Each structure stands twice: as C-alpha cells, then as structure tokens.
Chains A and B, each alone.
Chain A
Amino acid sequence: MSHALVPTKLEELWAYIAENPEAMLCAGGTDLLVKIRSRSVTPDCLICLERLDDLKGVRFEAGEIIIGALTTHRELLHDPIVQRDLSILASAVQNLGSPPIRNMGTLGGNIVTASPAGDTLAPLYILKARLKIRSKESSRSVPIESFILGPGKVDLRAGEILSEIAINQDSRFTVNHFEKVGRRNALACSVVSMAALMNIAEDNTISEIRLAWGSVGPTIMRFGDVERLLEGRQLTVRGIEDAIRKVQQSVSPIADTRASADYRRDVAGRLLLRLLSYASSR
C-alpha cells in the first residue's frame, strides 16, 4: 500500500474514488487491515470512510429505521432506537469481537466483508434489511440477501458504496433471540450462530417465526420450509424436533480449526432448543 485517504465529505469521497479507481474502501479496518497485513489483498490506495458523518447514526424516516453504514458497533449498542427496536441486532453486536473492535468496526463494514461468520448478518437477514447503495451519480436499494453473493463477495460495483441500512418495522416480535456459539466468550469467531424472531400464541404455539443461521454455509442461511413447519407447532421438544432435523439436513457447513462440519451441523439444529426457554410456563 502506498497511501491512505480520509475524506470528510461525500464530494471528497467521490473525487478520491475517481482519482483512485483501484482504491479499496475501509469502513473500520478491523478486517481489511488484517488482510492487507497478511498480503491477501494488496491495494495501492485505501480510502478510510470513518469521517463521513453523513453516513453515521440511527434515525427513523418514513416508518423505517435508517442506520448509517459507518455507524460503529459501539454506537449501535448505545443507541436508544437500536436498544428498543432492534434488540436482536444489539445482542449480536454485544458479542462481536471485543470492545476495541466494536469501537472501530462498523455495521456497513461487517456487511460488505460478507463473512459467513459476520455476527450482524443473521439478524439483518431476518429483519429484512434493505441496503442503500450509492455512487456519485446514482443510488439503488437492494435486500441484504441479494447484496451478499458469497463469502467476501457482494454486489457492489465500481464507484459504489454501501451508505445506509434500512429496516422496516412491518411486524413486531415478542421474541428477539440471537445466539453465537464461539470457542471462547470474547474475541471469538462464530462457529455457528442463530437469529430468531418469533411470536408465540396463548396456547404456546409458534404463530410466526423467522430464522437465520451464520457460519453453516457460504452465506447466511434461511430455510422457508423450516419456518413453515414450525408455525403452528407447539413450542416443546416434540413440537420442534423435526425442524431440528430439517435444519441439520439443510445446512452446508465446512470444517476448520474451530470446529468440524458435523458439529456445526448438529448444533445449528440444536440451537432451536434454546427457544424453548421462551415457552409460556403454563
């Protein structure tokens, strides 16, 4: 690498991008600078985005929660809107990396890194987040699941940046559950994670559920058939056991130094058991 640029305004950013079309964008650097150090990427120029204040913060706009892509994880954790309305995202961020990583890393960075183990991704998938992509000339909006194409691959074209994450509060859930299984309690990369949004009827049946898993496939995995199977079922071991099996059949994990593929497969399904703790005690 030969130089780093730190724009403070969007116009400046567009100009830098135009002058350095090969530059890489850095939205916190907790992942990218590690890759540069190991030389798995070797950009000539880095454009650091952290001073683009327009792309920071959390606000309501037209019935949506809008999160600036450069909002750090720490800012998310302290944000009252996130605490109240996006508690599932908050609990994912609570477990992300470590305090200094959360001070530096951003939500947009976590999305564009597109790691299957990205902690915020599973919640964002089931929150049906839409991503606002901007370039100097244009802007477009895409659902997160079509933006993330594979491990480390996203639908971002030359000159484009991820500017905002929009979450529509169309439905409310009483259960906002996120669990990350890591090999230790901090500074851990997820071995499996599961995010769940769920409503439970008075008779203890699952009335509505959305589920997503991390680290068990090339990207976040969702299974419509599992969700359909669970809806209407009793929230009991017997009620969910075939869903557990179905999840275990559907995921496609790999093995690495952290865990075997079999363990990931097994636990991806078993994590549904944790939802039993939300069952009404009657």
Chain B
Amino acid sequence: MSNRPANIGSTLLRPDALLKVKGEARFSTDFYEKGHVWAGVKRAGRPHAILKNIDYSEAIKLPGVIAVLTHKDVGGTNRQGVIKKDQPVLVEDRIRHCGDAVAIVLSDTRRSMEEAIRAIKLEVEPLPAVTDPRLSLKDDAALVHEKNEDRNILLGGAITVGKGRAAEAECDEIIEATFETQRQEHAYLETENGWARLDDQGRLEIVCSTQTPFRDRSEIAEALGLDLKNVRIIVPYVGGAFGGKDGITVQTLLALSAMHAAGRPVKMWWSREESFIASVKRHPSILRYRLGAKRDGTLHFLDVDITMDTGPYDHLGGVVLALAMEHSGGPYRIPNGVVDGRCVYTNNPISGAFRGFGVTQVSSGIERAMDLLAVKIGMDPLELRLKNALRAGDRNFVGKTLTTSTGITECLETLASHPLWTQRSFWKRNAGILKKRGVGISAIVHGSGYGPIVPDYANAKIELTGEGKFRVYCGVVDMGQGNSTANVQIVSSILNQPANDIELVLPDTERTLPSGSASASRCTYTFGNALISAAKIMKERLCRKAADLMMKKDPQEFSTTPITIRHLPTGSEIPLKVIANMMDSSERIVTAYFRAPVAEDLVTGDYNLRLHGMPHNLFSYAANLACVELDEITGKVTVENYATASDCGNVLNPQLYEQQIQGGAIQGLGLALYEDFVAVEGHVTTKDFSTYLTPTSMDAPDIESIAMGIYETTGPFGSKGIGEIATNGPLPAIANAIFDATGHMLEKSPITPESVLTALTEISKE
C-alpha cells in the first residue's frame, strides 16, 4: 500500500494483500469460539425420489447431538431461488437431486455431527431420474417439477433476426456443427461456510462467504418467515467464488440452525465433497450451429439452437440461457438468422452462475463455427473475423445497436500484428519428433450488468472519520477480484488522500448500502460510478466547509491535500481532523446512487427474455491466441503460448487487470482441457480434487495480457468490466489450434488426450 494518493491507471498494490500473506485475513471459515455448535447437512444421496420419512431416532440419541431439524422446523416458505423460487431449504416430500438438503444436525463436535448425519435413515420411493437434457424434453420424460408450466422447460425462447431462415438460401457457403460443453465446478478453495448467532432480541447475525449479502438477507427472511430487520449478513474476506456464491449456499440452513442453538454460535462448513455435490455448476450445453456466408466471407445467416441442463432448480439458469442466446452470434455483424434456446430441468447437479455465464458456452460454439467456415471459404480465420467484426453503431446479432465502446477490431488487429501470429508458420514447422503444432484464435464479446429491466444499481457511502480520514463502505463483495482495491484507488485519487489512509468496510447489511451482486462484470462499473459521485460530493462539501471557516467566498479555490484542505491562492490550510471535529456525524457521511444505463432497443417482444436480461448495453471484447503442441503418442495437449488483447475500457489498475485476465484464462484453460464434473445417472463420480482436475502451476502457461485501453465514456474513469471476458477465450482458441494442427474440429469439451489422439490417428490414416 502506498502513503501517496493513488493514480488512476497505475498499479496500487492491493490493500488486502498484507493481511493475506500474513495469514491474518479473516475468512468466514476462521470463526471459532469455545462452546460453539457444529451444524451439518444430511444430503439426499439419490437423484429423484419421493421422500416418505426421515428417521433420525438413532441420530438424536448420539452423545453431543443437540437437535435434528427437518422441513417441519422451517417457519417460512421453505423456498429459495433468485428468479424462480423453486428450491426447498429442506426437502418436504420430493428429492430432486443427490445434493438436496434433507435434514440438519446440530452437535457439540464435528465428529459427533458427522456420525449423526450417517445415522439418519431416509425412507424413499425412487422415481425415474431425468439426467439427459435431450430426453428431459420428450413427452414421456418424468417431470422434475410437476407444477411447472412447460413440463421440464425452465425457460425457453426464440428470436428471429432479419429475414430469419429465409436468408439461408442466399448463402454461398454454410457450415453446420453441434458442440457439447461440459459441467464445470467452480472449485473455489474456500468451500461454502458460515457462522451464525441468534441474540436474545431475536436477531440473527450471519457471517458467510457470499457474493450477494443483501439478496441473501431477503431470501433467508422469506424462506424462514423472519422479519428482514432481524437478519444481518456480514461478508469478510471471501476465498474465491466465481459465480458459485451468487446466491444461497449455507445461509438459510445456517440461519435455521442458529434459531435452534439456544444462542450459541453455530458453524457450518461444507467439506470439499459436500461442496461438490451440493453447489451449483456451469451449465452443460448442447449447441447446434449453422453459419452461412457469402463467397467473400461476409456473414449472412446464423441458426443457433441451444439446450442447457439446469439441473433441478432455477438458481440463475434462465438468466444464463438469455445471456447465451444474446451472445450466440459473437462479436459479428450477422444480419439474418434465428436463435432458439431452452433451459431444461433434470435431476443432475444444479447449474447456475459461473464466471462467463452462458457466454462461455456459446463463444465456444460461434468461434469454432467461424474457423470451420474460414476453412470452407478458404479464408484466413483472423481476416474472416476482422471482416465481420462489430463496430460502434452496428447492430449485434440479436439486433441491439451498439452505443458504447466497441473495440473488437482493435483487439483483432493487435493479434494480427503479434509475432505469435505473424511467425506462426515458422513456429509450427519446428515441432519436435512425434509432435504436431497448431495456432488458433478466438474473438469474444461479453455484456455486463443485469439487462434492461432488473435495476443494476449501487449505493456508495464514504465517511470522514473523527480522525480526519476516510472510510469507504463497500456494498459489493470482493471475493478476490480486487474491486475493493479499485474503490480505494477511486477515493484516494479524487480526495487526494494517501491510499493507506483509506479504510475499507467490507459488506455488511447493517453498515454498507445495498449495491447488488458481485457478478456480471459489473462491480467496479456500477459501484465505481456511485463511488465517484460520493467522493466528489464529499470533496465539494469539505471545500465548502473550509471556505466558510476561512471566510473565503469561493469553495472552488479549495482543494483537498493529504490530511488537509488548502486554499490554493493563499496556501493556508485546515487539517481534515479539525474540519471533521466541527462537523456533525451525519454531515461526515456522503452517499451516492448510480444506476447503470440500459438498452432502449426492444430486440424481442418476449418480456420473459427481457426480464432475464436481454439485451445488454455495455460490452467488453477480447481476441485470444493459443499456440498448442500435441503429442502424437498420447494425444496430450500443451498450450505453449497464450496471448490476449482485450477491450475492457481504460485500465484503472494494471496489476488487477492482469490478475483478472490471467485468472480468467486459466479457468478457461481448465474448461478446455481438464475439468469435467461428471454425474452418472445423477450421481457425482468426480467427488474430489483427485478426480476433478483444475490446472496446477505446471499446466498453466504464462498469459500475455494486452489492454487496448479504449476509453468508455459511461464507465468510471473510462473503464468496463474485466471479470469474465478472459474465461471465454481458451476453449475455442485451443480447439481452433487443434483444428489447425490436425484438420479435425473437436466438438466436445473438455478436449481429452483421447479425443486428440483419435484426431491425430485419423490424419495418419488419411
């Protein structure tokens, strides 16, 4: 941290880093107290069944066990969910996936809690499990929710663009391919956990690892039948989230536990295995693409069909589908076509929010389709992309006119002149014995914010303390991505105060103000804009106060300096501490509100699609390049080089920017090559980190992250979202590189050595 005021555009070291390297940063896992209670969950363990009886007679007798809770102990609706409240806190009569919570055990020790959970016996009547989303759509499929309007469809929709299917006949070339993407687990190192206590006034205080404290508070209150005022959520440091903590994990279960713990604090901390079974995943998808162009490479027609497996509950599945549909045409002008999508209930693990949020899936579709088309037309894949790249003022595939900065052309041009691209033929020729090399690219667009209807707002709050320092109340969670550092930077630079004098208050529903979720690449955009306003108001207020005190007419002649306010023409100054002491506590607090601008375009008449976010108004862009080497003996893929050129607006903090790009790319690399969360007939077979494989340091190449730095006029200091864009690039870039090396487009991910070996042996046969 710095004892100087921060500059926008230069690296300010993360203020949280000091505590984190010393092991002193307190996460919600780190709360213990003598005599606290352990709470644990009995999981259903079968994918679909009628729950007839929960026999906990043995469990309750075990020494140390305090209580066993079931749905009968839930006072409210017993339902949770973000858009559609279709998930029970504790199952009443119907089990819909193996990870369903059925009962809670409260115990004095973790050991006895675990023993009691094992001792609970479930009496069930098995039902046929729907585990293939294609079969789930059939008329004879068992229904996951009997009362759902549209059988097993959570959300479906279609959009016709231009002439629709009629344009197909006008194309000179058409390619068709069906891609399948897998289920991906977030695998944050800090599994879901929390710490809760009910005080003698009936107020619940919950410390937990979440992206959404304010929304959680409402969900808990409604599900358990509590008064909102009596629920407080505090979010300390969060050990990674990536979308997986966007919504309820332990919160409701923990709150219910605390209500039965006689005032003792309660700890709930899911094991890795429980986290894997119970938490949400990235939606597996089936993407049929038909992409048509004129002979000269002008894109003319796209027909996309998207099926997503959302598991048994909405979570954010409908929103994921809508974002996937919106981005299905990539960053290109495509005047005609159709996109048809559906999000389907199954008895598989729950799918929900995951960094990339549907865009990851369709990006892998459109970008592989582009390379297939390039080969068919006989055009360089980068040139084909440049030819069709969206520019400001164009309509994107779903018909939204682009009014914000649109830098995909600049990104692609940067790659076009990059040595990894210009020297690729030479590099490929130098593959070793029994190795083959290929180079592939991908072009990505990613919208940010909540779309046209759900308000994307933030409330910033800054306090001048009695010590004359500034305290920033962060309404949006920082789960590691560094937005709280950006907050310090914004306030420090506007108020001209040493960065290490700025105190941060992490999200707390009683101290900070509602500011939406830490998601959708919106944190710094939305909260940052609110914070800029707050900081400017604060500055103006202090200058006015100083002008009054010094009996000067023009507050404009004053400026804040580190620890003082100075009258610039005379150089005389008043310490901030003095000013602070002359102000009432209410005067020392400034709040400001910002609501993100939204698209006015009515791209669809389907209100439901609009409610679920279509279309967006602000987009980040990126072009990515992967150089891969394939081993002809084993089919092993090594990513030798990876470069990205991204348009995320003006970069506030280069180090944070690089962290986001590198980290997003490594998660995308995991999706491309390693990670596959497998459920066989609804039962998870990748139960732990030895079978669910995320990239290690030996698998992650160094990532080159070039920033275009294009100023976005609506953004805080010209910036746009960086959180998700990088995750979407690797799968299509790597698949295209393998296509380049082998002539075979792999349509399923993860790309296994086995599928590569098959592609390689097919070439040798040809």
Contacts and interface: CB of A to CB of B under 8 A. Distances in A.
Interface of A: 98, 181, 183-189, 257-260, 262-263, 266-267, 270-271, 273-274, 276-277
A-B pairs with lowest CB-CB distance, top 10: A185-B698, A263-B754, A186-B698, A186-B696, A270-B633, A257-B691, A184-B699, A181-B634, A185-B699, A273-B633
B112 interface: no
Contacts of B169: none
B686 interface: yes
Given A98-B696, A257-B678, 8 more contacts: A186-B699, A187-B690, A188-B693, A257-B676, A262-B754, A267-B757, A270-B633, A274-B434
Given A185-B698, A260-B754, A270 B634 contact: yes
B207 to A, nearest CB: 27
Interface of B: 433-434, 633-636, 674, 676, 678, 685-686, 689-691, 693, 695-699, 752-754, 757
11 contacts: A184-B674, A184-B698, A184-B699, A185-B699, A186-B696, A186-B697, A186-B698, A187-B696, A260-B754, A263-B753, A270-B634
Contacts of A277: 433
Contact of B693 (A184, A266, A271): A184
Contacts of B678: 257
A34 to B, nearest CB: 8
Contact of B757 (A186, A263, A274, A276): A263
A273 B696 CA distance: 28
A115 to B, nearest CB: 12
Contacts, number: 56
A265 B702 CA distance: 34
Contacts of A184: 674, 693, 695-696, 698-699
Contacts of A260: 754
B696 A181 contact: no
A97 to B, nearest CB: 10
A19 B486 CA distance: 62
A193 B753 CA distance: 15
Given A188-B693, A257-B686, A257-B691, A266 B753 contact: no
Contacts of A273: 434, 633
B696 A185 contact: yes
A49 B184 CA distance: 40
Given A186-B696, A186-B698, A267 B633 contact: yes
Nearest to A183: B693
Contacts of B634: 181, 267, 270-271
B228 to A, nearest CB: 40
A273 B690 CA distance: 29
A185 B699 CA distance: 6
* Interface hub of A98, A183, A259, A266 (most chain B Cβ within 10 A): A183
B696 A189 contact: no
Nearest to A257: B691
Contacts of B696: 98, 184-187
A187 B634 CA distance: 18
A259 B758 CA distance: 13
Contacts of A186: 696-699
B633 A258 contact: no
Contacts of B636: 181
Contacts of B752: 259
A28 B695 CA distance: 25
A193 to B, nearest CB: 11
